Structure 1
Amino acid sequence: MSHTSRAIRIDRPGGPEELKIVEVEVGEPGPGQIRIRHHAVGLNFIDTYQRSGLYALAMPLQLGMEAAGVVEAVGEGVTHLKVGDRAAYASQPPGAYCELRVMPATCVCKLPDTISFETGAAMMLKGLTAQYLLKKTLPAEGLQPGDFVLFHAAAGGVGLIACQWARALGLQLIGTAGSDAKCQLALEHGAAHAINYSTEDFAARVKEITGGKGVKVVYDSVGKDTFEGSLASLRPFGLLASFGNGSGPVPPFNTALLAKGSYYLTRPTLFTHIATRESTQAMADDLFDVVGSGAVKIPIAQRYALADVQQAHRDLEARKTTGCTVLTL
């Protein structure tokens, strides 16, 4: 039996104008799959990379990496979910920009009743990213309460979650953002310090804040524009975790740059960390706990109807958004 669903598809890489609403047929789940009806869909910067072709994927492509809704059908071998369960996910392959989909069940988690569908859709990819960064992507000397970390794009979806989570862990998070208003937002969400990188030399300010020492780790989703400054912000044996390309990919560089302080460099991805059902659930449980406790609140600052997805992408790329953004159904 098939079902009809509205979905957002692109037939070729390009700008937001390539995002089209189409009607698709959705069938029954196969082994290891579920069918889920979405109540809300999360919007993420990685969606723009896939749309533009920066991350090359086969066409036509249905975008979207996270959503929340209700399980309608369960395929053979799926034991952690049942029909009627509230659920949320951050998952590959893309395809969340729709009303209904069949997808692998591995990364789909039961959503606690205390967490709304919109919050679930907004927090899975961004919250799990903050989790693996602050809990698993650590410098050689580890992180202890009181340590300084630098987090770029601190007023974005991942950033505002990381500001709160870092505070809960006792870390002193130095956030950067592109305006004074965004810096204030980061401070209100738990950043110990905030730097407007459009008006200040952030590396120089980091050294000033840390008494000339630098930070143990830089979490950098901006990429090209911040890479060298991020290295300059590290203390000896510090770690640069480059986890995004908001300003474009980091160009080829001489690894001798790392010799200045015996620095470490990594390019982590969420999907390496959630490659198994066990790791996905453990990370999700950590996220659900910290959100459920109130230590981390999920800031949904923008809502767009599914039909307005082109405008949502324009606003995201123009840095007009803060916190999390969801598409409503």
Structure 2
Amino acid sequence: MHTTTAPTVVIDAFGGPEVLRLEDRPVGEPGPGEIRIRHEACGLNFIDVYQRTGLYPMQLPAALGREAAGVVEAVGEGVTHLRAGDRAAYASGQSGAYCAARVMDAAQVCPLPEGVSFDEGAAMMLKGLTVHYLFRRTVPITRGDTVLFHAAAGGVGLIACQWARDEGITLIGTAGSDEKCALALEHGASHMINYRTEDFPVRVKELTGGKGVDVVMDSVGADTFDGSLDCLKPLGMMISFGNASGKVPPVDLGTLAAKGSLKLTRPTLFTHIAEHQTCQTMAQELFAKVLSGAVRIRIDQRFALADVAEAHRALEARKTTGATVLTV
């Protein structure tokens, strides 16, 4: 099959969901190190919102989206891990996944096992690989450790709950409603805190006998950062990996000393998966979790690609649980 043009979501200016528009764009032939892939489903992530609003600036006009799954149509010179006809999925540092087909670098595109659906592939790569680097590659976390995970009922959060349960890690989660708390508990969280009705740092101290947690994993940003530091044990690690409520203000390093010689890092997935073989190995370990049944990819919302603005509104209003996919 040879796709020549593809509906693609683009923005010409930064702003609200109304700036998202669909246009038919030409799809060419893959060059060296590239593939052409026809998408079956695309993933929705907060990074897409950050780019749409200009929090993460892009050169305009720009195509959005970082995650999708589909079928490889053609491979360029030098690509050996994929062939035409292969099922594949990816999270990529190259935007442009909100489309029916595209040509892109092949290095971060991963063969998709038969036991994983296209919708699951589109919903799990960016979120699941994020959970992988949080638990495996950022700081040593071992059986019996305790982590605090904000937004535990979201797409990343529900994977994290299951990952922690599978590895014997105590996960204390936060969410904004009793329903979301129940969902996270169902997926493996050890304890949940409704941050709208409880003071989460106080509750964390109660749950840990006053000790605090070993690691905080915080994608919320400005609203939770200071409280998160108060939840850590001395020498604990604060992993700030998102800005759903806005960017974290500048931090006085002296605060880390005063609160117990704390450690702080601000990682991104795309640094962790930049090297081809590392990305492929991480994906294989993620697929193994899913194929074993230890991690189930929960997709609670589906929108047509043409309804992408509606999907963005739902995500920003915190009306979503689990993962959201755009169907092509």
Global fold match (TM > 0.5): yes
Correspondence list, 1:280-291, <5 A: 280-291=279-290
Correspondence list, 1:1-329, <5 A: 3-138=4-139, 142-259=140-257, 260-329=259-328
Counterpart secondary structure, 2:160: helix
1:145 positional shift: 1.5
Structure 1, gaps ≥5 residues long: none
Which amino acid in 2 is paired with 1:286? E
Residues 16-39 of structure 1: per-residue CA shift (max 9 Å, x gap): 000001010010001100000000
Residues 41-70 of structure 1: per-residue CA shift (max 9 Å, x gap): 000011000000000011111000000000
Which amino acid in 1 is paired with 2:277? E
Alpha-carbon distance between aligned partners in 2 of 1:306 and 1:154, rounded to the nearest angstrom: 26
Alpha-carbon distance between aligned partners in 1 of 2:48 and 2:251, rounded to the nearest angstrom: 27
Alpha-carbon distance between aligned partners in 2 of 1:178 and 1:37, rounded to the nearest angstrom: 37
Alpha-carbon distance between aligned partners in 1 of 2:121 and 2:21, rounded to the nearest angstrom: 25
Distance change in 2, residues 1:2/1:210 (3 Å)? closer
Report if the CA contact (8 A) 1:37-1:70 is conserved. yes
Which amino acid in 2 is paired with 1:111? L
> Normalised by the size of structure 1, how large is the TM-score?
0.98
Report if the CA contact (8 A) 2:69-2:119 is conserved. yes
Counterpart secondary structure, 2:103: strand
Report if the CA contact (8 A) 2:3-2:101 is conserved. no
Counterpart secondary structure, 1:77: coil
Which amino acid in 2 is paired with 1:273? H
1:147 positional shift: 1.6
Alpha-carbon distance between aligned partners in 2 of 1:56 and 1:311, rounded to the nearest angstrom: 22
Which amino acid in 2 is paired with 1:212? G
- The CA RMSD measured in Å over matched residues stands at 0.8
The percent of aligned pairs where both chains have the same amino acid is 67
Residues 215-253 of structure 1: per-residue CA shift (max 9 Å, x gap): 000000000000000000000000000000000000112
Distance change in 2, residues 1:207/1:21 (3 Å)? same
Report if the CA contact (8 A) 2:27-2:103 is conserved. yes
Structure 2, gaps ≥5 residues long: none
Alpha-carbon distance between aligned partners in 2 of 1:271 and 1:325, rounded to the nearest angstrom: 20
1:143 positional shift: 2.4
1:98 positional shift: 0.3
Counterpart secondary structure, 2:245: coil
Residues 149-172 of structure 1: per-residue CA shift (max 9 Å, x gap): 100000000000000000000001
Report if the CA contact (8 A) 2:144-2:168 is conserved. yes
1:310 positional shift: 0.5
Alpha-carbon distance between aligned partners in 1 of 2:105 and 2:54, rounded to the nearest angstrom: 24
Report if the CA contact (8 A) 1:2-1:28 is conserved. no
1:144 positional shift: 2.4
The alignment of Structure 1 onto Structure 2 pairs a total of residues equal to 326
Alpha-carbon distance between aligned partners in 2 of 1:315 and 1:275, rounded to the nearest angstrom: 30
Alpha-carbon distance between aligned partners in 2 of 1:13 and 1:313, rounded to the nearest angstrom: 14
Alpha-carbon distance between aligned partners in 2 of 1:245 and 1:80, rounded to the nearest angstrom: 34
Alpha-carbon distance between aligned partners in 1 of 2:223 and 2:214, rounded to the nearest angstrom: 20
1:2 positional shift: 7.2
1:92 positional shift: 1.7
